[in-house]
Structure formats: C-alpha cells, structure tokens
Amino acid sequence: MKRKKREYQSSELVKSFARIYGFEDKLVAFEIKDFLEDYLDESLFNEIKSVNIHDQCIYIKIISPLLKNDFKMRRSFYLKKFQDKFGAEKFNDLQIL
C-alpha cells in the first residue's frame, strides 16, 4: 500500500490561506515593508509607521517630515521599484501619508 505525501512549503500554505480568506494584499504589504527594510538605512526604516494596500494603491505612513517629503519627491521612483519587484499589475499608485 503506497501513500501519497503532500509536501508544501510554509510560504505556499500562507499564500493559499491568504487567497482563500482574502488578505493577499496584506501579505504583499509585508513584503514591501521587508523590501524597504533592506533598501533603507535602519534609522530611516524606523520612521515608517505602516504599509498598506487598498484598491491597487500602496499607502505608506511615515513619521518623519523629512523622509515623508523625500518619498513624495521620489514617489514615481519608488512606485516603479515596487512594480518591478512585485509586478506592475498589482499597483497603479503610491500615496505617502
């Protein structure tokens, strides 16, 4: 008697649960935040309060007025980076709050 074993990576399971329960956007927001953690200096990253996605728009809340202004000035640059990294079809706007 031969049994089939199904092996899944934990990331695949999390993605399938996210698809079932409708919180895929939150997972992508976590990935964006991880990307920013690698991309930015630690002190700058600590100024980012939250990252959310709603209706194909990325919302980034930033505490520091200087960093907020920098993100606003380079908004198209960051949007392009996110689209290249995570797929252009997922996002069409970036809002800095």
Q: How far is CA 10 from the centre of its chain?
A: 19
Q: What integer pLDDT is reported at residue 21 of this predicted model?
A: 72
* Amino acid, single-letter form, for residue 86: F
**Phi, psi for residue 74 in degrees, rounded to 5:** -110, 30
Q: What tokens does 7 get?
A: 């092996």
Domain at 5-96: CATH architecture = 2-Layer Sandwich (3.30)
Domain regions of the chain by residue span: 5-96
97 residues of the chain, pLDDT tens digit each: 455 555 555 577 777 776 777 677 787 888 888 888 888 888 888 999 999 888 888 999 999 899 899 999 999 999 999 888 888 888 888 999 9
Q: pTM (2 decimals)? A: 0.75
Indicate the SS3 state at residue 97: coil
Query: Terminus-to-terminus CA distance in the chain, angstroms?
Result: 60
